[in-house]
Every structure is written in C-alpha cells, then in structure tokens.
Amino acid sequence: MLERLVDITDNALAPDNLYEDLSFPDAGGDIPYIYANMVCTIDGKTLLGPRGSSAKGLGSNVDQLLMRRIQNCSEAAIVGASTLRAGHVIYPPHLIRAVVTRSGEIPWNNRFFTDRPEKAIVFAPMSAMEEIFPFLPKGVRMSQVGEEDMDVDVEMIARILRAQFNIRRLLLEGGAILNGHFFRAGLVREFFLTLAPKLKGGGESPGLMDGKGFERNGFMELTLLSLYRAGSELYARYSVGSVKNDD
C-alpha cells in the first residue's frame, strides 16, 4: 500500500507500518514537544467545502489511517473551536483533547466531549467564562488563559499542558487559525502533511496556516524527514526551523 520515497528518520518499520511507533524527543524546558498534522490539496487548501464544513473527503483512507496512528502515539491533541463546530471530532480513548476558544461558543454535543468528557480541556480567556460555565459538561476541565476578550497566548497553553497535565507529546490538529498562532509563536517542531492529489482553487478556502503571515519576506524553513506515497497521495514529515528573512 505505502511506498517509501525518502526517509532519514530512524524508522525501522516496513512502509506499511508508517507512523506506528513514532517517538519524539523531549522538548526540554517546560513545554511539550509539539507537532502538527494536516491534509491539504496540491494548492494548499484544507477543505473541499466552504470554511466551517468538515474536511471529510479531502484525504484518502490511508490518510485517515496515518492520522489515527499519529494520534495513537500522542498524549494530547489540540484544535481550534471552529474545527469542533465543523463536525464530530472522534479520538482514541486515551487522548487528552484540548480546544481553544475566545467566544466560548462550543458545540458541547460533539463526540470530542461526549466520548470522554474527563479527557477534555477548554482553554479560553476570562471573558468567555460566562458563556461557558452554564453549559460545561460534568468532567470537562476549563483553563482560563488571559483576562480580556483577546486571543489566548498559545505558549501559555503549552506550559499549562506540561505543568498541570504532564503532557510531553502534543499533536496540533488545526485548523488554519490555531495553526497560525502556534507556528508564529515558534512552538511547532514537526509538520506531518498529507498532500491530496486534488486542486480546489478559490480565495476563501482556508490554507494550512491563516492569520498574520511572517513579516515582509520572513518565512519558516522546513526540512524533509520522510516522504511516502500511496498512489498519487503523498505523506511528508518535516522538521520545522526558525523564522528566517531574506531581506
């Protein structure tokens, strides 16, 4: 099913067992080792439908399988609230699952919460508390980060996950807005990316990382660690470098 094109990691498994036993270094300091996983079209779109719809249909069954394996090797996953509003997010039972919101508009009937409420954490500023408290399901934990109606500091989230929940391996699962916060803060160490052999086009579809880009000619440089394929779909794993500027 899977064919190895490049692999400079210490992966000793057969191609079909890709990502089955991922191990990650300790991030050092007081935050988890953070890695993102996304699927996009060749033109970098992360949805086939309009913004806010589910990403269903974008990646193949192999992409879904690899996503599950990456989740299985993680201690926690984090998503933006719009990703929960787009449809059910279903995780392996062991996984701590965190969501970030500023508005407090959370779909509490999402399986993200109902499957394992005691594994769920909501990160929000104080201003969202009034919205959240009356609906907070039993078992779901709430962590306040910041006072005002402002974006929460994602580095603070990472520190809380390490210090209070002992998370050492954190999977960032999008969407594009939350990714933007984590990448701009320089917190993401690796990027797992499925390139689906599809073109979508259109200016409105979200990309991999939305919000403010890097200043002027600034960019983040990535190094390819491995590349596999199944048919025309590609599965890349990159290490993420620091921000550079070609000015």
177 binding ligand NAP? (CB under 6 A): yes
Question: Which residue's CB atom is positioned nearest to ligand NAP?
Answer: 175
SS3 of residue 199 by DSSP:
coil
103 binding ligand NAP? (CB under 6 A): yes
Phi-psi region of 192 (alpha: psi -120 to 50; beta: other; left: phi over 0): beta
Give the range of 13-21, 101-109, 133-141, 224-232 binding ligand NAP by CB under 6 A: 101-109
* Residue 45 C-beta: closest distance to ligand NAP, Å: 8
Among 16, 20, 131, 151, binds ligand NAP (CB under 6 A): 151
173 binding ligand NAP? (CB under 6 A): yes
Residue pair 127/101 in contact by the 8 Å Cβ criterion: no
Q: Cα–Cα distance between 78 and 71 in angstroms, integer? A: 11
* Residue 55 C-beta: closest distance to ligand NAP, Å: 4
* Residue 208 C-beta: closest distance to ligand NAP, Å: 8
CB-nearer residue toward ligand NAP: 162 or 206:
206
CB-nearer residue toward ligand NAP: 11 or 205:
205
Query: Which residue's structure tokens are 């400079």?
Result: 8
Among 162, 181, 229, 237, binds ligand NAP (CB under 6 A): 181
Q: Cα–Cα distance between 123 and 145 in angstroms, integer? A: 7
Give the range of 10-18, 112-120, 134-142, 146-154 binding ligand NAP by CB under 6 A: 146-154
Q: Cα–Cα distance between 39 and 62 in angstroms, integer? A: 11
* Residue 4 C-beta: closest distance to ligand NAP, Å: 23
Q: Cα–Cα distance between 247 and 229 in angstroms, integer? A: 36
Near ligand NAP in 24-83, by CB under 6 A: 38-40, 46-47, 51-55, 58, 79-83
The DSSP secondary structure of 97-155, one letter per residue, reads EEEE-SS----TTSHHHHS-GGGEEEEE-GGGHHHHGGG--TT-EEEE--SSSS---HH
* Residue 84 C-beta: closest distance to ligand NAP, Å: 8
Buried b (16+ CB within 10 A) or exposed e, 221-240: eeeebbbbbbeebbbbbbbb
* Residue 243 C-beta: closest distance to ligand NAP, Å: 18
Residue pair 32/161 in contact by the 8 Å Cβ criterion: yes
CB-nearer residue toward ligand NAP: 11 or 101:
101
Length of the chain, in residues: 247
CB-nearer residue toward ligand NAP: 211 or 216:
211
Q: Cα–Cα distance between 158 and 245 in angstroms, integer? A: 26
Q: Which chain residues interact with ligand NAP by CB under 6 A?
A: 38-40, 46-47, 51-55, 58, 79-83, 86, 100-103, 105, 151-152, 154, 173-178, 181, 206, 210
